[in-house]
């Protein structure tokens, strides 16, 4: 989450030009946050934790991404991201609650089906991850606090390395695109 915020800091912290965009990102994250929280508190998420489900979902959604990426239209975030498209992408994000479905991959797939170009599809996906990662972090921290476990220097070191490697990954991913 911190790596993505740092990578997109110019877009995020330029509130004058990005109020509409930030509100679309928050709105597009609501379906995942609501459904994810319901699955978390009811513990229904564990029903899907099966190796066969994970394997099949990985294969199925990789094939979907392959076909979505064949889209030749080139819409851009600046001109074409709307409430309608962000709602659709928010619904796509819900699928990532099924183990084996990667959140970034399914949002990129949805954006490509909506005819956004590759770079903007990835940008939408990464920016939509901020509220999702924040929510997951809060729930994870809550679980740690319930166990009366201290956050040790190893946890802090893990956060630092996670930030560094995530930032490098995002940077090289966009170079690849």
Q: Are 114 and 75 in contact (CB under 8 A)?
A: yes
Helix H or strand E encompassing 89:
helix 83-94
pLDDT number for residue 162: 85
Summarised one tens digit per residue, pLDDT across range 98-138 is 888 888 899 999 999 999 988 889 888 988 888 888 877 77
Query: How far apart are alpha carbons 149 and 143 in whole angstroms?
Result: 9
pTM of the model as a whole: 0.79
Average pLDDT, whole number, for the chain? 83
Would you state the pLDDT for residue 3?
A: 80
Instruction: Tell me the pLDDT band of 11, cut-offs 50, 70 and 90.
Output: confident
Q: What is the pLDDT of residues 29-88, one digit of tens each?
A: 999 989 988 988 888 877 878 889 899 999 999 999 999 988 777 888 878 889 999 999
Count each helix (H run) and each strand (E run) in the chain, helices first. Answer: 9, 0
Task: Please count the structural domains in the chain.
Answer: 1
**Cα–Cα distance for residue pair 98/86, rounded to 1 Å:** 20
Q: How many other C-beta atoms can be found within 10 angstroms of the C-beta atom of residue 76?
A: 12
User: What pLDDT score was predicted for residue 64?
Assistant: 92
Full residue range of the structural domain in which residue 139 is found: 2-176
């Amino acid at each position: 989450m911190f790596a993505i915020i740092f990578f997109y800091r110019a877009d995020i912290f330029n509130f004058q030009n990005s109020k509409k965009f930030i509100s679309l990102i928050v709105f597009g994250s609501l379906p995942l946050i609501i459904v994810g929280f319901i699955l978390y508190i009811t513990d229904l998420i564990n029903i899907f934790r099966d190796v066969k489900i994970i394997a099949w979902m990985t294969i199925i959604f990789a094939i979907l991404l392959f076909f979505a990426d064949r889209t030749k239209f080139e819409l851009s975030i600046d001109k074409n991201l709307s409430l309608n498209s962000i709602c659709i992408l928010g619904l796509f994000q819900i699928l990532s609650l099924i183990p084996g479905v990667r959140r970034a991959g399914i949002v990129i797939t949805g954006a490509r089906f909506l005819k956004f170009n590759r770079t903007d599809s990835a940008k939408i996906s990464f920016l939509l991850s901020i509220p999702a990662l924040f929510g997951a972090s809060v729930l994870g921290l809550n679980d740690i606090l319930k166990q009366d476990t201290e956050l040790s220097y190893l946890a802090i070191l893990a956060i630092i390395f996670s930030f560094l490697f995530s930032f490098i990954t995002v940077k090289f991913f966009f170079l690849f695109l």
